[in-house]
Structures are given as structure tokens and as C-alpha cells.
Structure 1
Amino acid sequence: MEMGGMLDSIIGANGLLIGTIVPFLFVLTVVVFVHEMGHYLIGRLCGIGVNAFSIGFGPELIGFTDRHGTRWKLSAVPLGGYVKFVGDMSATSQPDSDEMEALSESDRARAFHLQSVWKRAATVVAGPLFNFLLTIVVFAVMFAAYGRFVSEPVVSEIRAGSPADAAGFLPGDRFVTVDGSKIETFADVQRLVSGRAGDELTFVMLRQGEEVTLHATPESTEQTDALGNTIKIGIIGVVSSPEAGQPRAVEYGPLEAVGEAVKETGYIIARTGQFLKRFVAGREDRCQLGGPVRIADMAGKAASKGFERLIQLVALLSVGIGVLNLLPIPPLDGGHLVFYAVEAATGHPVSERVTEAVYRVGLLLVLVFMGFVFWNDIFGC
């Protein structure tokens, strides 16, 4: 390859730098910044002092100190970030006994670990909640600006030999509920079925004015998503044609857009939680989980399709980061919340010995998980 061609493959519009790394850093920086800003803002609101706010880990690249004494910085390893409160030993909000003893009276009043349990819990949970809020804002703007296309939940065709065929679905059937959830559009059916491969579901259908109950177990199939990624989803084998579905554009006012955005974000949170439970039970394909390399690839593909796609990826990744951080595993936010719940119930903090032991196990689990997704990214899938 000539030098010019090599250079273009790296820094050209579709090259590694501009086409993949820059979109990846944009997506990750926005999601991390919003998450850490949640911790920072609620912590400050609760009167907690902040020593540092960092995007990335490791050595500082650039930064400044504000009038409150907080060091705002961009660090060398752009795979996360942290807020370091007064009294913290590290970026994971472990207490530093030596630093605590050396604090002045005014600083002790601002130290994170000396605050009431509800202030600490509010500060910790704010990170994931801000991630969810970011997704709601993105979806609300898109719904208000573009609306959405919807189709009636009416069956026009059943694939021969499919679960729907075996269950007795007929053309003209209209979905009423799927496993108790009310159906309004064909997209609702897809949303409820896609994550339930191998689970028997109950379908209430409207057939010639009467409701009939059918049972079908979605089968797993590979499909290509909007970014060209191969994904596995559950299907029952029904099709909705334009004649049956009567697709139409729905426009939303500002308040309606926010309401739809909240519902959509709730659906994604539930779907993510459902996937994680099925994954732990060994019922999901491990290749559906990816790490930084997969995210970088998706960011590059999204950017090539336009800024709107990139922002949609930000919204989806933000939900994922929020849900993962709420898992009850130290050093994740959910692990801290478990300790605070125990403290609130018993009236005294969990002992330092127990905290340290659980923290070490949790950290090991997080590192194993990170190694697993890296392996998936590079070698496994």
C-alpha cells in the first residue's frame, strides 16, 4: 500500500481516526460526562465537596481548578470517568481513613462518607438516573421533530412451519395483548417477542369480533440491524403487510413527545434487564455482548449514516451504562446502594472488614466481565 493510501485509511473521512475513533470518543464522552455530572450536581446539592471531576482515567492531559477547588480534567485513558469527593481514597468512593483524620472541620462537614445515608444514596443513584434522563431527552427531541411511523397490529401472513403457524394464528388476527401487555402497534408485538426466544408466550387475538387465546414460543433467528450488525432475536413468524397494517405517521407535541420518550426509555431499560437475566441463566448468545471495540465499530457505522444515528447510539448506550451501574456489585453504583440500604435498615454502616472483602470480590467480577467483553470483541465472536 502506498503511503498516501495508508494515511487516508487512518485519517480520511472513512478512516480509522475520523471514521471510528472520533465518533467512539464522542459517544463515550457524552455518556460518561452525563453520568458523572449526575453524581457531581446532586453531591454538590447535598453539600458534599468535590476534589476532582475527570473524563477518563490515568494521567491528566489538560484541566483547570474552579473556585470551589474542584479539578476538572481530561485524562489519558478515555474509557470512563469519575468524580472524587472529599474524603475519597480513590475514584470508586472508598473512604480514606488517613485523609479523613487530616481533614479540617470545614472539610469534614463536606466529606462524602460523613454525610447522612440518604445524601450518599441520592448522590450515587444520580449517575444512572442522569443516563436515563439523557435518553429521554434524546428521544423526546426526535419524537417532537420527526414523529414516528406506526402500523396496526394485524396479521396478514403466517410463515409455514413457524411457531405462529403451529399455534393456530390466522391472517386477519389482531393482537390485543402479549403476555398481559396491551398492544397498540405492530412494533409493540416485535418489542415484546424479540427478547423472549424460547419462552412460551400467551397471545390474546381479536378474530372476527371475538377474542381467542393462543400460545407460541418464539424461535431465535439472526437478523441485520440498521448499522449492519448481526443480532439474534425471537420471532413467531407473522407478517404485517401495508394493506393490513395501514402504516401512518404520528406527530407529537412537546408534552406528548416527552411522554413517549419516557415510555420508550422504560421499554429499553426493561429489555436490557431482561437480557442480562437471560444471559446469566445461559439463555442468550454471549456474542450479543460487546465492549469498547464493538462500541467503536458501531459508533463509526452510526456516524457514517449521519449525526442523527450517532445521537441515537448515544441514547441507547446511555441506558446500557445506567442499567449496568445499578447492578448490586461493588464498585458499581448499585453495590454502594446495597451497602447504604443495609446501613439504613440496621442503623449503622457495614463494617470496614466486610466492605473491603465484598469490594474485592465485586472488583474481581467487574474485571472478569471486562475481560470477557474484550475477548468477545477481539477473538471470541
Structure 2
Amino acid sequence: MSEFIGSIWWLIVALGVLVTFHEFGHYWVARRCGVKVLRFSVGFGKPLWSRRGKDGTEYVIAAIPLGGYVKMLDERESAVTANEVDQAFNRKSVFKRIAIVAAGPIANLLLCVALFWAMFVIGRPDYLPVVGHVEGIAASSGLRAGDTLLAVGERDTPTWSEAQLALLPLALDRTDARVRVRTAGGGESTRTLHLSQLPDSFDERRAVDLIGITPRHLLAPAVIGRVLPDSPAFGQLIEGDRVTAIDGEPVHSWDDIAPLVQKLGARGGEAMIEVERKDDPRLALLLAPRLTRNTQTGQDYWALGIASGRTAPPAKDAVLRYGPIDAIPASVREGAHQTQELFAMIGRAFSGRVSVQNTVAGPITIARAVNASAQHGAAWFLQILALLSLSLGILNLLPIPILDGGHLLYYLIELVKGSPVSERAMAAGQYVGLALIAGLMGLAFYNDIMNNLVR
């Protein structure tokens, strides 16, 4: 399946799940409050499938899978017969109307926790948070290659993804972080990561990279994939050799080789290149790099004449998993944590600490993210569904007319003043709400264009 088709398909699946649960929340509470539901529709436009239930509700799957709605009996929208007037939404108490409107976002929040629970039970494959290379802030803060990140602040980091998610908000706020690590020697220690030294302005998407930590799994192993003919290494090093040291300095990854070779070339003369070979676990060969010209840049560099053998990412070596019982509090904690981070990110956007371009995602960005998660497996797909469900729930609670939060605002005003908000005021609010939503959608599409199509 191509990325384009896959992105569309998984976006439709995600929206279908999230919208169905959202609207089911409205529907379920409305029925419990004695309101007659005329239609429960997943999608908009022409019905592709419909069925009328015994309760009189028409259940519909419509052609445009970009939303949904629950249509309730309401005197403000159509005439209501005398024997059904007590089932009209507008005749219910303000508290029942609040419950019905709030039920949609609450359903999304509950779904978020349920999806996190399923993700934890299935187990999300990932990489261990082992440091492969350090520089800049990370190096000056005392982190070393081979360190395993155990916790960032108060958040445990059993996988690299958890470490990234813990580091990102601290980097955005430029807050120094206490990092608990297990060293390569097996001991535990605590470092202070001086994130306050990050520049005043940087691309938030590269925040973790700017700290100077490269995880082990992103580094290519120091395994030779090809030896160039007529090169210093030709006839001595062979395909499959793992370079372990150059001139006495250890080599942990392929990225370590080039700087050591340049250093050796600048020094001049031969040096021992230590390798592990299939039939010889410790082999030392005497080699001298040769000055070579890069035909593309015109610059000279020292080279042994070897190329990396890495062709695919390494297999994941960690799984984030809990048992069915332990997953319950874990999923609640994760839902609460992600809610806190979502509000914090909104606050950063309004305060100007992060770019709105990197905060508001449009359908193209979301579709690509959902598709990428689906390709990584069920647990990753459940995680992004949980995050989208949380975002949908919070978004709908914002006090913007036409959203559920806007209706809740009207009902709170009604509670305070003792009478419903006038239809004129509600109509004015609808226009304001439409303008705000149109502006938000325009920003989302603009961000999509800038982040996906222009780059």
C-alpha cells in the first residue's frame, strides 16, 4: 500500500473510531436523560447505509467520513407533537443538557485511557534509551556514550520514546533536568542536564537533537560493508569486519571512525586498526590512511577506503508492557500526563515560547503520522489513537460557540442568570465560532503546506 493511500485509509479508520465514540457519548446520555434521538450518523452527506432502531433512531453511515452528529428532537429546529414534547432536548433541565453535551468529550477522554490500557497490555516495541554519542550540552553535563537513561525528572524512561517525550517539554521551557542513568559500568548516577543553555530560538522539532544526545540505535555499527579497490584497506580488511579501535582509541559506532581516521592522517604514519573477524575475535592490522579528494565538494580528507554495511534499522530491543491489572493505573497516569502536556503546549503557543506552526497540525500531518504509526504495529497505532482522542476531547471542551464547550458556556450563563441565552446572542456566537474554527482550520492547512509540501 502506497504512503498516500495508506495515509488516507488509516486517517478514515482513526476518524471513524474517534467520532463514533464521541457521538455515542452524546447519544447514550441523551437516551438516559429521556431525549428522543432522531439520527445517529457517522460521517456527513449522502447515507451509504441506514437502519431504524426500535427506539425510533435512524442509524446512518454517510459518504463523507470526516465527522458525525447526533440529531435530537428539539422544538427550536422542527415542530414537535404534543405527545413527544417531554422528549425534546430543549425541554430538559439545564443540568441534563450539560450532561448530554459534555458526554461527547468525556467519551473521548475515557476512550483515550482505554486505548492506552490496550497499548500497555499488547506491548509497544521500542528501543532501549542507551546513549550512543554525546556532544554539546549533553557532553558538558556529564553524559557519556553507553549511559542508559533511567529517568528524566520524575518520569521513568524505559524506552527511547519515553525519554524523548520527557526531554521535549523541559527543552522547550529551557529547564535544567535531573537525569538518572545507569553507566556502561553498571553503576547508577544522576546528572544535571543544563537545558537552560539551549539558544533562545530554535526549531522545536529538533529540540532533543540540539541537546546533543544520539541514541545507540541511530548509530550505524562499525561493521564494514565494502572495501574499495586500490585503497589502504584493500587486501587487509574484509566485508563483515567490525572495527573496535583505531590507534588505541575505542570505536563504538561507524560515526566514530571518520574523526579518528582524520586524526590519524593529520598525525601521519601507520597505526593499528583493531577489528573483530568471524574467525578471529581480536585482529590488529597496521594501516595508514590516504589523502583523498571529494569530487563533489573538492575538499581533501583522509580515508582508509571502507564503507558501512548497514542497510536497515536495527531490531527493536525493548517493549513497553504491563499486565492487565497494572495497565489500569498506568493508563490513567499516562492520560493525565498527556492532558497536562497538551495544556502546557497550548500555553507555550499562546505565550510565544513555541511556534504555532509546530503546534497546530492539519489533516496531512495527522494522516501521515497515523499511517506511520500503523506501519509500526498495533500498539503504536493505539497510542496515536489515544492521543488524537485526547486532543479531540480537549478541543471540543474549548469555550468556542458551535463546539461542545461553547454550548456548555451558554448553559453555565443560563445557570447564573436564571434564563436561557437569547437566540440572538446564540446566533451571534455561532458566527464568532465559525470564524474562529475557520481560522484554526486555515492555520492547520497552512502549517500542512509549509511543513509537508514546501520543504
CA RMSD of aligned residues (A): 3.6
Q: Structure 1 residues 215, 73: CA separation in 2 closer, same or farther (over 3 Å shift)?
A: same
CA-CA distance at 1:212 after TM superposition: 9.5
Q: Are the equivalent residues in 2 in contact too, given 1:194–1:233 (CA < 8 A)?
A: yes
**Structure 1 position 327, deviation (Å):** 1.2
Equivalent position SS for 1:128: helix
| Residue equivalent to 1:259 | 329
CA distance in 1, matches of 2:383, 2:449: 25
Name 1:216's counterpart in structure 2: 195
Distance in 1 between the 2:443 and 2:61 partners? 27
- The answer on 1:301 being equivalent to 2:340 is no
**1:184 CA displacement:** 3.6
Match of 1:84 among 67, 71, 82: 71
Radius of gyration: which is bigger?
2
Return the match for 1:359 from 430, 444, 448: 430
1:214 Cα deviation after fit? 7.8
Secondary structure at the counterpart of residue 113 of structure 2: helix
Partner Cα distance (1:248, 1:294) in 2: 27
Give the alignment's TM-score, normalised by structure 1.
Answer: 0.75
Distance 2:325 2:92 in 1: 37
1:250-289 pair list within 5 angstroms: 252-282=322-352, 283-289=354-360
Q: 1:71 maps to which residue?
A: 58
Secondary structure of the equivalent of 1:72? strand
1:249/1:212 CA distance change after superposition, 3 Å: closer
Equivalent residue for 2:2?
14
State the identity as a percent. Answer: 34
Query: Aligned partners of 1:119 and 1:338: how far apart in 2?
Result: 14
- Show CA shifts across 1:285-320 (max 9, x none): 504532222223333333334444333332222112
User: Structure 1, unaligned stretches of length 5 or more?
Assistant: 1-12, 89-94, 224-230
Question: SS of 1:47's equivalent?
Answer: coil
Q: C-alpha deviations, 1:191-244, integer Å up to 9, x for none?
A: 343134442425457899999988632567769xxxxxxx444574467889xx
Indicate which of 134, 141, 148 corresponds to 2:118. 141
Mark the CA change 1:321 to 1:249 in structure 2 (over 3 Å): closer, same or farther: closer
| Match of residue 109, structure 2, among 107, 114, 132 | 132
Q: Return 62-71 or 282-291, whichever deviates more.
A: 282-291
Q: Say whether 1:350 aligns with 2:350.
A: no
Distance 2:320 2:442 in 1: 44
Q: Secondary structure at the match of 2:405?
A: helix
Q: Is the 8 A contact 2:152 2:167 kept in 1?
A: no
The whole-number CA distance in structure 2 between the counterparts of 1:25 and 1:210 is: 47
Asked if 1:29 is matched to 2:99, the reply is no
Alignment correspondent of 2:231 = none
Provide, for residues 91-128 of structure 1, a one-character-per-residue CA deviation record: whole Å limited to 9, x for no partner.
xxxx43xx2xx312332211112211221111111111
**Offset of 1:39 from its aligned partner?**
0.9
The residue type paired with residue 195 of structure 2 is A
Structure with greater helix share of residues: 1
Preserved contact between residue 177 and residue 183 of structure 1 (Cα < 8 Å): yes
Give 3-state SS (helix, strand or coil) of 1:255's partner.
Answer: coil
Matched to 2:167, the amino acid is: V
Does the 8 Å CA contact 1:112/1:120 hold for their aligned counterparts? yes
Give the letter aligned to residue 355 of structure 2. Answer: E
Equivalent residues, number: 340
1:40 positional shift: 0.7
Note the residue ranges of structure 2 that are not aligned, 5 or more in a row: 182-186, 218-316
Q: From the superposition, tell whether residues 183 and 271 of structure 1 become closer, same or farther in structure 2 (CA, over 3 Å).
A: closer
SS of aligned partner of 1:348: coil
1:55 Cα shift? 1.2
Q: Deviations over 1:44-102 (max 9, x none)?
A: 111111111111122323212212221111222221111111117xxxxxx43xx2xx3
Are 1:58 and 2:69 counterparts?
Answer: no
